[in-house]
Structure 1
Amino acid sequence: MHWFRLLQEESEPVFFSAWFNLLNDGLGGIQEGVLVLGPASTGPFEPRATWPYNTPCSDPLMMVAEQALELCRPVLQRAGTRLLFAVPVIQNNELLGVLALSPLSPGLSIQQKNWMQWGIGWLLGHPAVQAGSGEGELNERLILLLELLMSSLDSDDLEQAAQTVLAQASVSLGCDRISLGFAHKHGIRLFTLANVAEFSRKIDLVQDLESAMEEAVDQGEPVCWPGDEQSLVIRDAHRKLIERHGNHTSLSVPFIRDAEQYGVLTFEWAGRPEPENVELAAAVAPVLGQVLLKGRAANAGSMDMIGRMLKAPCKRLLGAGYLGTKLIAAGVLAAVLFFSLATGEFRINTDARLEGAVNRSLAAPFDAYLEQAVVRAGQVVQKGDLLAKLDGRDMKLELAKLESQQAQYTRQLQLAQANWDPAQAGVVLAQLAQVEAQLNLVRTMLQRTELRAPFDALVTSGDLSQDLGLPISKGQVLFELAPLEDYRLVLDVPEADIGYLSLGQRGELVLKAFPEQQSTFDVSLITPLAEARDGQNLFRVEATLASVAEGMRPGMEGVGKVSVDERKLIWIWTRELRYWWRLSLWKWFGV
């Protein structure tokens, strides 16, 4: 799109916007930039365009631009981690302005500098900055480049577009053969030959062309044979190419986008070429190559894209250096292996509490007044210990009365027997039996005024110390007792975990009162009833302790862990998160 806008030479703002966009693409990114233009050599010079577009540039970059204007030569400076670079715009020895940039890269490669020169060439071709008499040569280059670029944009297929461009370039430059190669693994691979639809990679020509291309890439600059013998440029591969295949001149021009994307255009002439054609080929190739690289990236298959994405990480992992990356990768690999192989015991964590195996309630045997309260809840009692005593004075009076009646009836019975009065003796005998029955009842009730412990126990409920003298109703529960040596463990299991439990599973208990002591238990009962508590549904599960430790008391709380089976540690640690995720998906999306 930017090429079309540049070629159409629309209004000045549109041209400068497209120009800066292309400059940004070719340099691999620009933090900021400014283009300063003015009347040739005289000024005044003013900013005509900035990058990002319509954004004022920073003071350090403007200072570098002013230095380049004053010195009339390139200026390179660093401001912290930023690179500031300014190059004057000169035509026919006249200063037209300056281009100042701050690229994203830490330095400027030869390819980036060439791209900047081409950018300035495009700039000089625009009516807004044209001056001097050097327009003919420049326009010739621009026209040829425009024609080749338009040819490359005619087709979406990269190979067809490259064939079209190379064929047109060979005609325009008088070449016998033009070859295009792209980066492949650790070298250059021939991509296409002008006017050749198919070729075998095993033939000597292809191998010699690839060697010549690699020679140019390794040196990072154009290589021509024959060339200046005083130059330090190595030309062995180009010399062999010419000697073996009969042409007169070969020129290889590399174009580099980054360490993974680069290529070479190799031009060959059968006879001695015009110097202008050689210069034109060297000038056109870098820009044309960048466009072809973009087309190659756009046409790359998914596997190629994945390969390029993975190449850099693999290089950091397997190549020299990058110790930090290797350590991180080793840590990640170790974690993956650990979670893939490591297993652990899967246990259900629950709140637990102790209860007595039997809860015995002691109730008032009759209506009475409370005379004495000996114990309170929390106390340990032995079998037969007095717990409380009811007021028995009324029963004692009743007992004395009945005993008096018993003595009276006994005397009457003796008198009737002495008088040989059987009828009277029978009546008195019946009355005496009735009194004795009443006496037995009163004596029993009098004994029951003393409430005693039926077994060794802990008083779990009942505090009558504040109720002395108050009336007690028959059947009123006064105390609750739990045996000391017989407990059951109650587990409150969340509904999400109840499905993992079964009868007979073993677990471990740690009470808050004894955090350093573990007790084992076995699940004995799973109830089907749930109780809502603290915002969640809890199922009551009962368990039997394998042994009762000294100091255990009903009502103590702690944490129980029920062993289920062996599973992967990653499964155990992410179980709750996965359950929450599944429920959320089902709740919100129905999947």
Structure 2
Amino acid sequence: MHALTRPAAVVRPVPPAAAPDTGLPAAGRTALALQAALLGCSSFDEGARVAVRELALRLGFERVSMALARENTLQLVAVSDGSATDAATPARAALLAALGETFDQQAGVVWPEPRGHTGVPRITRAHRALAPSRGDSVAGVPLVVQGALLGALCCERRGGVPVDPDELAMLEQLATCIAPVLALLRDRERPWYQRLQAVATTRTAPWRRVSLVGAVVLALLVLVWPADVHLGGQARLEGAVQRVLAVPADGFVQQVHARPGDSVRAGQVLVELADQDLQLERQRWQSQLAQHQDAWATANARADRAQLVQNQSRIDEAQAQLDLVDTRLQRGRLVAPFDGLVVQGDLSQQLGAPVRQGDALMTLAPGDRFRIIVEVDERDIAQVRVGQTGTLALTALPWQTLPLRVTRISPVAKAVEGRNVFEVEAALPDRPADLRPGLQGHAQIDAGRAANGWRWTRRLVETARLALWAWWG
């Protein structure tokens, strides 16, 4: 047996505060007031305390207690008189027993039973223990949300007016109104996995459990299913060999016979430099060569060996200078060293422009041999190996993918658009006729197979692991 902290007194129901007549019965106005008070609460604990306090004040009970079903146990969560809910006392044990009695029977329980009661008999042993004095009454109602038990309420009144069937029915109605709001407050504070478990185990929608289990199984299969791992990035097409045509000597551009994109043949003249000065110099050396030859012939006729040797040396010097001028004239006509394409050097708008020795005029590449340069991120380069295969999609040929094979990995990284990349060279086994050096696109290198979950989270895991190592050492 337990004793309450308040003295026993005759407590009669207190009517709700005066409010405009809305045409609703008293029970409806009370239910709306309770729901409005609960909706203003920020947590479940606050809502439970407000609910028991309002029920005690509005219905004239000495004490109203609420218990909630948590993890297959019934836990006391709120008492209207402010008693501790977690103190291990006989009074608390008796109160929990009464709440459990209501919860297990899933129906309203009242003690003492009203006279002339003809309904289903209820077990009232725990309720009787809470009402030891004559004239005390105890009523309990379950909290039900969509057919699922949320908890129970226990209302105690010391002496005075006992709980009649109409008041018990009103209690059940109010419990039905506040239970959904309390469930919403509780669910808002529950972790996501508990919400998922509640949806999966609900008895009101079995199709949800089937759908949820199917979705989880499908997601797991997708995560563990192996798939091809593709690495790569931006790619560009270059000639396997590139030849630069440089200026052999200072001069001026006279004629241009090819532009970038033109196909040229080996030996074809591409650029001609101005040769007027060289032609004049050639005539001067030809004239001197003729004079020295005449002098040599005169010395030979006189048998003057000294003049003969002197003139012969001058003849050799003039001939060497003449050969040098002829070579410079020949080198002033830049020709294609092989069949290919002009990839750089548009000189058509620079006729007559001065050029200096060593300046690059044109760049040629063979039209039948190409290489692919793939920019691979430094985080992926460890998985790239020579001999791996892949595919190339060019921007100019988006409808066609070309196979490639890795032939070389550059050991030095370079910065491109704020990130470090390694240049990976690849060859094209099949070469379509419409390829041109300078085309760009995207390449993917096959780096084996891995689970989809690892493929999607690899970058995140590696970044986190590096950050953890940098933090902890």
Report the TM-score range of the alignment, normalised by the length of the smaller protein: 0.5 to 0.7
Report the TM-score when normalising by structure 2. 0.65
Structure 1 segment 233-252 matched on structure 2, within 5 A: 233-234=119-120
Whether the aligned pair in 1 keeps the contact of 2:16 and 2:58 (CA below 8 Å) is no
Task: Please list, as runs of the form range in 1=range in 2, the aligned pairs for 1:10-89 lying within 5 A after superposition.
Answer: 35-36=16-17, 46=18, 62-64=20-22, 67=23, 74=25, 84-85=28-29
Name the counterpart of 2:149: 260
Q: 1:568 to 1:412 in 2, by over 3 A?
A: same
- Return the offset for 1:479: 2.0
| Pairing 1:563–2:446 present | yes
Aligned runs of 1:304-453 on 2, under 5 Å?
312-316=198-202, 319=203, 321=205, 323=207, 325-326=208-209, 328-330=211-213, 332-414=215-297, 417=300, 424-453=307-336
SS of equivalent to 1:441: helix
> In the TM superposition, what is the alpha-carbon distance from 1:392 to its structure 2 partner?
2.0
1:226 is displaced (CA, Å) by 13
Over 3 Å counting, the alpha-carbon distance change for 1:226 and 1:395 in structure 2 is closer
Cα distance change of structure 1 residues 533 and 508 upon mapping to structure 2, 3 Å threshold: same
> C-alpha offsets along residues 2-33 of structure 1, whole Å, 9 cap, x if unaligned?
x99x9489xxxxx9xxx99xxxxxxxxxxxxx
Counting only pairs closer than 5 Å after superposition, residues 492-507 of structure 1 correspond to structure 2 as 492-507=375-390
Structure 2 letter corresponding to 1:120: L
Q: Does 1:120 align with 2:59?
A: yes
Task: Report the alpha carbon displacement of residue 334 of structure 1 after superposing the two structures with TM.
Answer: 3.9
Q: Give the CA deviation at 1:390.
A: 1.6
What is residue 422 of structure 2 aligned with on the other side?
539
Structure 2 SS opposite 1:384: coil
Deviations 1:398-422 (A, max 9, x none): 3334334444544555555555555
Asked which structure has the greater CA Rg, the reply is 1
- In structure 2, do the counterparts of structure 1 residues 391 and 426 end up closer, same or farther at CA, with 3 Å as the change threshold? same
Q: CA RMSD in A?
A: 5.1
1:156 aligns to 2:87 (yes or no): yes
CA distance change for structure 1 residues 341 and 419 in 2, over 3 Å: closer, same or farther?
A: same
Shift of 1:564: 1.6
Q: Deviations over 1:289-318 (max 9, x none)?
A: x9xxxxxxxxxxxxxx999988853442xx
Q: Are the aligned partners of 1:153 and 1:161 in contact in 2 as well (CA < 8 Å)? A: no
- CA offsets 1:503-558 (integer angstroms, 9 cap, x no match): 33322211111111212223333334333332323333333333333232222211
Classify 1:433/1:549 alpha carbon distance in 2 versus 1 (closer, same or farther; 3 Å): same
1:515 counterpart (393, 398, 416): 398
- Report the CA distance shift for 1:388/1:254 in structure 2 as closer, same or farther (over 3 A): same
**Tell me, what secondary structure is at the counterpart of 1:354?**
strand
> Residues 460 and 226 (structure 1 numbering): CA distance in 2 closer, same or farther, change over 3 Å?
closer
Separation in 2, partners of 1:395, 1:310: 91
1:369/1:472 contact within 8 Å kept: yes
Paired residue type of 1:260: L
Distance 1:101 1:365, change over 3 A: closer
CA distance in 1, matches of 2:115, 2:152: 22
User: Are positions 1:526 and 2:423 aligned together?
Assistant: no
- Which runs of 5 or more residues in structure 2 are unaligned? 39-50, 63-79, 125-136, 176-189
User: C-alpha distance in 2, partners of 1:63/1:285?
Assistant: 24
SS at match of 2:220: helix
1-structure distance, mates of 2:358, 2:195: 85
2:45 is matched with none
SS of the residue aligned with 1:257? strand
Query: Cα–Cα, structure 1 residues 396 and 118, in superposed 2: closer, same or farther, change >3 Å?
Result: closer
Match of 1:182 among 89, 100, 105: 100
Kindly provide the CA deviation profile for residues 222-251 of structure 1, in whole angstroms up to 9, marking residues without a partner as x.
Answer: 5999985xx75345999xxxxxxxxxxxx9
Residues 176-255 of structure 1: pairs in structure 2 closer than 5 A:
182=100, 188=104, 214=105, 217=106, 220=108, 233-234=119-120, 255=141
Shift, 1:468, TM fit = 2.5
Counterpart in 2 of 1:269?
Answer: none
For residues 323 and 194 of structure 2, the distance between their equivalents in structure 1, rounded to whole angstroms, comes to 106
> Deviation at 1:453?
0.8
SS in 2 for 1:260: strand
* SS, match of residue 496 in structure 1: coil
Describe the shift of the 1:182–1:221 C-alpha distance in structure 2 as closer, same or farther (beyond 3 A). Answer: closer
Q: 1:308 to 1:385 in 2, by over 3 A?
A: closer
Equivalent pairs, count: 399
- Assess, with a 3 A threshold, how the Cα gap between structure 1 residues 309 and 162 changes in structure 2: closer, same or farther: farther
Query: What amino acid is the match of 2:91?
Result: A
Q: Give the Cα–Cα distance (whole angstroms) in 1 for the partners of residues 318 and 399 of structure 2.
A: 64
Residue pair 2:295, 2:311 contacting (<8 A) in 1 also:
yes
Query: Against the structure 1 CA distance between its residues 310 and 233, is the aligned structure 2 distance closer, same or farther, given a 3 Å change threshold?
Result: farther
Q: Is the 8 A contact 1:180 1:263 kept in 2?
A: no
Q: Which residue of 1 aligns with 2:76?
A: none
Task: Label 1:119 to 1:373 Cα distance change in 2 as closer, same or farther (>3 A).
Answer: same
1:89-120 Cα distance to aligned partner (Å, 9 max, x none): xxxxxxxxxx9745489xxxxxx9xx969953
